[in-house]
A and B are shown apart, each in its own frame.
Chain A
Amino acid sequence: MDELSNIRGSCLRAHCNVGKKTVNGRWMRLRRRTALGGSGPGRRYATQQINQAYTVLLMSQFQRYCRELHTEAIRFLTSAPPKDPRSTLLRVRLTEGRKLDAGNANPSNLGSDFARFGMNFWDVVKAHQRGNRARQEKLSVLNQWRNAIAHQNFDSPILSGRSSIRLAEIRAWRAVCKSLAESFDAVVRAHLMGIIGKAPW
């Protein structure tokens, strides 16, 4: 058992030595990015890491909200004859390959998934509140940041060469998500009312 551990250990060390320069370089870069402390002015904790985590968390919660709104709308649309095979068929077809199940809640995926209910989603959302056109663009930028953070690749031209993010920006995005969520709820509710003749929620 000890021999096996030694072999494994020596293999690992050999592997590290082969790419030592690369590994060291990467490690130093990572340390510089995540370094805590220092004697200069400013905060002594990992603000950037917290901001990045906050951005990804915000986006994931917004995605979950949108997906659950979509699910709830389907359940309501197909609830009338519960044992009717047509209801099951419709439920399967309306959720099959849904983009919100695999991709981000970006404007394109949202438009595509909610179009399954027969609505021009973003046209209706933009008409619902004056600021929603700008919010759609901000959601797109938020998605770019989310992807840049999740993949640690900040090359997108939309980020204008930046790799750090400020708390004020995230708070603004949170307000955007909140307003969009309220609009989504209202327009989907109105659309379902138009189809089935009563308020779904």
Chain B
Amino acid sequence: MPRGATTRSNGRQLRVGQRVIYRVGKNRFRAVIVEDRGNIGIDGERIFLLRALEDGPAAAGETFELAAEELKPIR
């Protein structure tokens, strides 16, 4: 990403294999990053392929995509 361009929240901290949480309303769900798809979203959003670690909007074990700004790493 060029300097000065939109800085998406935690995209730089995220990497493949990392566990993250994503939120839907007040609920939080755990997932693991399986692939970095790159900046292919609108305005260069960084997109990750994730695998759900628990049942939620996606069933446990299923893969889905979200943008970096929707994810928070689990420390």
Contact = CB atoms under 8 A, between A and B. Distances in A.
A16 B62 CA distance: 41
Nearest to A76: B42
A72 B70 CA distance: 16
The prevalent SS among residues of A at the interface is: helix
B57 A88 contact: yes
A101 B24 CA distance: 23
B59 to A, nearest CB: 7
B64 A92 contact: yes
A85 B23 contact: yes
Interface string A93-118: 10111100110000000000000000
Contact of A97 (B37, B42, B63, B70): B63
Contacts of A129: none
A98 B62 CA distance: 9
B58 A92 contact: yes
A88 B64 CA distance: 11
B45 interface: yes
Contacts of B24: 85, 88-89, 92
Given A93-B57, A97-B63, A88 B22 contact: yes
A95 B34 CA distance: 14
A74 B40 CA distance: 11
Interface of B: 22-25, 37, 40-42, 45, 47, 49, 56-59, 62-67, 70
27 contacts: A68-B37, A68-B40, A72-B40, A74-B65, A75-B67, A85-B24, A85-B25, A88-B22, A88-B23, A88-B24, A89-B57, A91-B65, A91-B70, A92-B22, A92-B24, A92-B64, A92-B66, A95-B64, A96-B58, A96-B59, A96-B63, A97-B58, A97-B63, A97-B64, A98-B63, A98-B64, A102-B63
Interface of A: 68, 71-72, 74-76, 79, 85, 88-89, 91-93, 95-98, 101-102
